[in-house]
């Protein structure tokens, strides 16, 4: 073969499907990675052994050889009775932790009979107004034997108080309770929008829960610092990484301002990330997150205990990636996303049900989602060794790159004066809106392929059986609320709420006051309204 012909053959074999390959953070991906791409690589400094600083390879030394991740399916719908039944079903099928989704009216601290709750009761989660609902929700479930994750933010302190009181009634002391409250208000302003109070009093309530739990509920995770919703709102993986960790820094700084010792509270902070479609990008995101957190806690906040530097996280597969077209394909998407989370070293995992782009998950779909995790855990062999991808040129390069890009964002946030000023300047909101618009455009222009959505489409009528919430639930919830209000000692309720307001005006820790109100069956809505009188409400300047 002549030389020129050889070149031609080579050129031909290099014809590519696309002009440019980029991941979902718009980072350009090269054809091949070699040792040149990780030139200054230093094993001890950049990775370290699993379970050791900077924790890049994993939070624990033996990872899944010692203990599998917690398979924690987020659920909650309809009434407390219905959700209680679903919990018992999941626990009987081998699930190891509960995860409570609350109805939107509970999330906003609005009573079921408020006109703004119209149509929302029990739709996205279980409807809770008073302690009574909480007692029914955990009826027959021993709270000292399970760990419970509650996805609740603005009223997190109230739901935690209810959980503690339910525990007391079962005969358990608070220190026996294990679980997590999401309690991450910063990402609400940034992405999910279920805020109630302005940022400053919201941060106070969060630091109150940190302080209280450190003393009395030591096995509780006080904040689940969440990137999940930031990603669902349309951010890139880099933005999810950077904004979530920036929120984390915000909480650490707020708690330290109250003179709490970083090593007392940091071990009880946990994280919650999304797992989207780009496999390696997600894995590298988790590895970078652990390394950034460890470095920052040690170097900037002066943490001494390794537990304070160790980032642990829950993962949920990307709801936003599910398609209504050919919903069964979502099972495959979820499998890949779950695998990425496992290879990235997650401590717990929620796999989405394939029908969620159509309705609330049905029982069969929930079962398949759980089975997906079990197949990965027990059949695939990926759990046999820790961080199996370490040392791959591509994986280490991309982990470094994600960290680098995140650091750029930290600098910009710092320039704006920190997380809260950046929220008020709509910085995050604008960045996310731009990213989500760009992503959607790329799909529309066929620059990114979504199977059966913009390529390989077959239009078939949907045959998935759907779960629907009976409007009866709303009626029953309102009836129960009215009944409680008629039966409880309303003078006591009023008294505890007045005391709460008084304390809110000062600087005392509010959790004991909230617990007193909860014990008297004050509703979430009543407690929130009392606090609103003192704290005011937040108004968003929506931008995009």
Partner 1 sequence: MDYSDLIEKLLEGNTRAAARLITLAENNIDVAEKIINSIYKNTGNAYILGITGAPGTGKSTFISTLIKIFIGQGKKIGIICVDPTSPLTGGALLGDRIRMKEYFSLENVFIRSMANRGQLGGLARATDDAIKILDAYGCDIIIVETVGVGQSDVDIFKSAHTVVVLLVPGLGDDIQAIKAGIMEITDIFVVNKMDLDSADRKVAEIMQMLELNETFKYDSEEIPLDFAKIKDWTPEIIKVNSRTGENFDLLLEKISKHKEFLEKTGIISNYLKNRIKTETLQILKHKLTKKIEELLNSNEVIEKYINEVMEKSLDPYSMANLIIKMLENKF
Partner 2 sequence: MSKERKIKVLVCKPGLDGHDRGAKVLARTLRDAGMEVIYTGIHQTPEDIVNTVIQEDPDAVMLSILSGSHNALCPVIMDKLKEHNIDDVLVAVGGIIPDEDKPLLEKHGLKGFYGPGTELKTIVEFVKNNLKR
Query: Where along the sequence are the contacts to partner 1 (CB under 8 A)?
Result: 539, 541-544
Q: Pick one of partner 1, partner 2, none as the site partner of residue 95 (Cβ within 5 to 8 A by kind).
A: none
Closest of 182, 225, 221, 242 to residue 432, by C-alpha: 242
As a whole number of Å, the CA-based R_g of the chain is 24
Considering only 45, 440, 455, 507, the residue that binds partner 2 (CB under 8 A) is 440
* Closer Cβ to partner 2, 412 or 468, answer by number: 468
Considering only 377, 433, 503, 534, the residue that binds partner 2 (CB under 8 A) is 433
For the bound state, the minimum distance from the C-beta of residue 542 to partner 1, rounded and expressed in Å, comes to 5
Q: Where are the alpha helices (DSSP H) in 279-418?
A: 279-299, 306-309, 329-343, 363-378, 393-416
Interaction between residue 320 and partner 2 (CB under 8 A): yes
In which residue are the tokens 């906040």 written?
A: 301
* Closer Cβ to partner 1, 21 or 544, answer by number: 544
CB 26 within 8 A of CB 237: no
User: What are phi and psi for residue 19, nearest 5 degrees?
Assistant: -65, -40
* Closer Cβ to partner 1, 463 or 542, answer by number: 542
Q: Pick one of partner 2, partner 1, none as the site partner of residue 506 (Cβ within 5 to 8 A by kind).
A: none
Interaction between residue 148 and partner 2 (CB under 8 A): no
Supply 209's token pair.
Answer: 């829960």
Q: Pick one of partner 2, partner 1, none as the site partner of residue 146 (Cβ within 5 to 8 A by kind).
A: none
Strand boundaries in 207-338, DSSP class E: 220-221, 223-226, 269-275, 313-317
Considering only 193, 204, 424, 488, the residue that binds partner 2 (CB under 8 A) is 193
Q: Pick one of partner 2, partner 1, none as the site partner of residue 444 (Cβ within 5 to 8 A by kind).
A: partner 2
Distance of alpha carbon 289 from alpha carbon 299, whole angstroms: 15
For the bound state, the minimum distance from the C-beta of residue 531 to partner 1, rounded and expressed in Å, comes to 20
For the bound state, the minimum distance from the C-beta of residue 192 to partner 2, rounded and expressed in Å, comes to 5
Supply 192's token pair.
Answer: 């999910």
User: What are phi and psi for residue 22, nearest 5 degrees?
Assistant: -130, 155
Interaction between residue 365 and partner 2 (CB under 8 A): no
Residues 324 to 363 in contact with partner 2, rule: CB under 8 A: 324-325, 357-360
Considering only 450, 484, 503, 534, the residue that binds partner 2 (CB under 8 A) is 450
List, in order, residues 6 or more apart from 250 with CB less than 8 Å away.
186, 203, 418, 419, 420
SS (H, E, C) 382-401: CCCCCCCCCCCHHHHHHHHH
CB 137 within 8 A of CB 128: yes
Please, what's the b/e burial string for 381-405 (b: 16 or more CB within 10 A of its CB; e: otherwise)? eebeebbebbebebbbbbbbbbbeb
Q: Pick one of partner 1, partner 2, none as the site partner of residue 44 (Cβ within 5 to 8 A by kind).
A: none
Q: Pick one of partner 2, partner 1, none as the site partner of residue 110 (Cβ within 5 to 8 A by kind).
A: partner 2
* Closer Cβ to partner 1, 21 or 437, answer by number: 437
Going residue by residue from 194 to 233, which x/- string records binding to partner 2, judged by CB under 8 A? x-------------------------------------xx
Q: Parallel, antiparallel, or unpaired: how do β-strands 70-71 and 97-101 relate?
A: unpaired
Distance of alpha carbon 509 from alpha carbon 499, whole angstroms: 12
CA distances (Å), origin 10, targets 21, 69, 426: 20, 46, 50
Considering only 322, 368, 420, 422, the residue that binds partner 2 (CB under 8 A) is 322
Distance of alpha carbon 422 from alpha carbon 434, whole angstroms: 16
Going residue by residue from 457 to 476, which x/- string records binding to partner 2, judged by CB under 8 A? ----xx---x-xx-x-----
List, in order, residues 6 or more apart from 385 with CB less than 8 Å away.
65
For the bound state, the minimum distance from the C-beta of residue 207 to partner 1, rounded and expressed in Å, comes to 24
* Closer Cβ to partner 2, 219 or 455, answer by number: 455
Interaction between residue 104 and partner 2 (CB under 8 A): yes
* Closer Cβ to partner 2, 309 or 334, answer by number: 334
* Closer Cβ to partner 1, 147 or 192, answer by number: 192
* Closer Cβ to partner 1, 19 or 539, answer by number: 539
Which residues bind to partner 2, rule: CB under 8 A? 104-105, 107-108, 110, 115-120, 123-124, 188, 192-194, 232-234, 320, 322-325, 357-360, 433, 436-437, 440, 444, 450, 453-454, 461-462, 466, 468-469, 471, 540, 542, 544
């Amino acid at each position: 073969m002549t030389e020129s012909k050889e070149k031609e053959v080579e050129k031909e074999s290099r014809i590519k499907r696309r002009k440019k390959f980029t991941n979902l953070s718009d980072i350009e991906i090269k054809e091949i990675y070699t040792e040149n791409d990780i030139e200054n690589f230093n094993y001890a400094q950049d990775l370290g052994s699993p379970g050791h600083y900077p924790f890049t390879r994993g939070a624990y030394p033996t990872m899944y050889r010692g203990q599998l991740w917690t398979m924690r399916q987020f659920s909650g719908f309809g009434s407390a009775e219905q959700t209680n039944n679903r919990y018992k079903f999941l626990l009987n099928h081998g699930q190891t932790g509960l995860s409570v989704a609350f109805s939107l009216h509970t999330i906003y601290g609005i009573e079921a009979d408020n006109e703004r709750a119209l149509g929302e009761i029990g739709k996205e989660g279980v409807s809770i107004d008073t302690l009574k609902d909480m007692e029914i929700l955990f009826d027959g479930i021993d709270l000292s034997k399970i760990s419970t994750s509650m996805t609740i933010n603005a009223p997190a302190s109230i739901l935690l108080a209810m959980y503690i009181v339910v525990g007391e009634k079962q005969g358990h002391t608070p220190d026996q309770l294990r679980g997590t409250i999401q309690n991450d208000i910063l990402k609400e302003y940034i992405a999910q929008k279920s805020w109630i109070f302005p940022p400053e009093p919201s941060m106070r309530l969060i630091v109150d829960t940190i302080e209280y739990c450190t003393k009395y509920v030591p096995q509780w995770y006080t904040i689940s610092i969440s990137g999940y919703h930031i990603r669902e709102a349309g951010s890139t993986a880099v933005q999810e990484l950077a904004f979530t960790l920036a929120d984390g820094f915000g909480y650490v700084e707020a708690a330290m301002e109250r003179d709490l010792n970083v090593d007392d509270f940091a071990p009880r902070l946990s994280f919650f990330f999304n797992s989207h479609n780009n496999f390696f990008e997600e894995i590298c995101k988790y590895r970078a997150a652990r390394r950034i957190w460890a470095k920052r806690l040690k170097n900037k906040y002066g943490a001494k205990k390794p537990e304070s530097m160790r980032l642990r996280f829950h993962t949920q597969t990307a709801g936003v990636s599910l398609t209504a077209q050919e919903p069964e394909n979502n099972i495959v998407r979820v499998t890949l996303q779950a695998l990425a989370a496992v290879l990235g070293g997650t401590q717990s995992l929620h796999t989405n049900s394939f029908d969620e782009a159509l309705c609330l998950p049905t029982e069969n779909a929930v079962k398949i989602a759980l089975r997906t995790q079990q197949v990965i855990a027990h059949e695939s062999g990926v759990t046999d060794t820790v961080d199996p991808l370490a040392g791959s040129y591509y994986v280490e390069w991309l982990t470094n790159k994600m960290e680098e890009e995140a650091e750029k964002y930290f600098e910009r946030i710092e320039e704006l004066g920190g997380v809260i000023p950046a929220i008020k300047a709509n910085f995050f909101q604008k960045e996310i809106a731009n990213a989500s618009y760009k992503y959607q455009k790329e799909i529309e222009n066929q620059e990114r392929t979504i199977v059966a959505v913009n390529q390989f489409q077959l239009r078939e009528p949907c045959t998935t059986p759907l779960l629907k919430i009976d409007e009866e639930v709303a009626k029953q919830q309102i009836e129960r609320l009215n009944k409680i209000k008629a039966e409880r000692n309303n003078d006591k309720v009023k008294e505890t709420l007045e005391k709460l307001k008084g304390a809110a005006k000062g600087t005392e820790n509010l959790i004991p006051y909230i617990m007193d109100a909860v014990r008297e069956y004050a509703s979430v809505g009543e407690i929130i309204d009392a606090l609103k009188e003192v704290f005011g409400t937040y108004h968003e300047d929506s931008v995009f």
